[in-house]
Amino acid sequence: MESSELALYRGLGAVRNYGIMVLVALLILNGVALGTLNWLETNDIRSELASLAEKLPSPSAAKTEQVIVLPADIISFRVSKVERVGFYETKIEDMEYLAYGSADKNYVLMKSEDSIKHEVLNFAFALFALYLGEVVILLGWWLFVRTKVRELFEIM
């Protein structure tokens, strides 16, 4: 009888360890999903800035004033010489921006990263709520299995 109780506790320990491994795997998957969303949103802004930079008119000495139409959340600067070419992050008055410097057109386009942060934060809250639900489900499953196994061994 002693060995069957020992086998019972070993089996329940194995089931508990399996549940813990599942929770760790789900936590890692949620972290990867959150990182992927952040990466995708940043690349979306980069592609938007690059496509808008391609549509900008080339600088002309004859035309000192040029009208360009950009979305409301894009900031544009025309400079005499672009010092930083390509994508970079910058900060203006405690606001972080993703900037794109176009050397051939002498423009710098900037877009705030607040939209990315807001969307990623909302997604993080949703993932956290799902993870808590998964923990509750696995804990309930563990308690159910433990109770049923103990009932079965008490009958025998």
pLDDT digits 0-9 by tens, 94-111 = 888 988 888 787 888 899
pLDDT band at 128 (very low <50, low <70, confident <90, very high): very high
CA nearest neighbour of 138 among 29, 28, 25, 19: 19
Is residue 58 pLDDT above 80, yes or no? no
What is the distance between the alpha carbons of residues 134 and 120, in angstroms, rounded to a whole number?
Answer: 21
Mean pLDDT of 42-48: 90
Q: Tell me the residue range of the domain where 103 lies.
A: 2-155
Q: Can you give the pLDDT at residue 47?
A: 92
SS3 136: helix
pTM: 0.71
Determine what percent of the chain is predicted with pLDDT higher than 70: 93
Mean pLDDT of 35-49: 90
97 CB-side CA count, 13 A: 18
Q: Can you give the pLDDT at residue 29?
A: 93
pLDDT band at 132 (very low <50, low <70, confident <90, very high): very high
Number of domains the chain is built from: 1
- How far out from the chain centre does Cα 113 lie? 13
Determine what percent of the chain is predicted with pLDDT higher than 90: 23
Mean pLDDT of 71-80: 82
Is residue 93 pLDDT above 90, yes or no? no
